[in-house]
Structure 1
Amino acid sequence: MSAAVAMTPQQKSGLARLILRWPKRRGELERAAEGSILDLYESYELASLAYIQWTQKTEPAAAAIADDYRRIVIELEQEIAAALAE
């Protein structure tokens, strides 16, 4: 990770969450932490938080909304994995 890159709190949290998800890819995730992938880290964090929040709600639509966020999290993981492969 470049020392000159300033990350938002959400980007840092997204990176940390991804490192927990993929510990063997830690170095790769940290080295890639610049440019447009930072937006993916942030989106990953926000979608993950929304998923967690909706899984804890009891209202009738909560399960369907949580499923939607889970799909978004999976899609973001795929996008981030693809970006790392480039």
Structure 2
Amino acid sequence: MEAAINTLVSQFKAYAGKQGSAQTLSREEFQSMLTSQLKSYIKNANDSAAIDQLMGSLDENNDGELSFLEFWQFLGQLANQHGGFNK
């Protein structure tokens, strides 16, 4: 599990550092990460309206960016669905 956490943190930092704050994911950074790293999980990652809706649902403080905590909660939701734990 330690390796998985290290990978998630390093991937977040790699995408967050592309533009703006290195501490948050912009909408564009988030979409880039989804299309590159989660293409099997997020089928409509190229759909701008779907990304806007997803960002809106994840961005708890409505600052237009995702903090690591907001991103982490998203990954928890994905893992929960993938593992069949939400039934």
Q: TM-score range by the shorter chain?
A: 0.3 to 0.5
Name the structure, 1 or 2, with higher relative contact order (CA <8 Å, separation 6+): 1
Q: TM-score, normalised by structure 1?
A: 0.35
Name which one, 1 or 2, has greater alpha-carbon Rg: 1
Q: TM-score, normalised by structure 2?
A: 0.35
Bigger strand share: 2
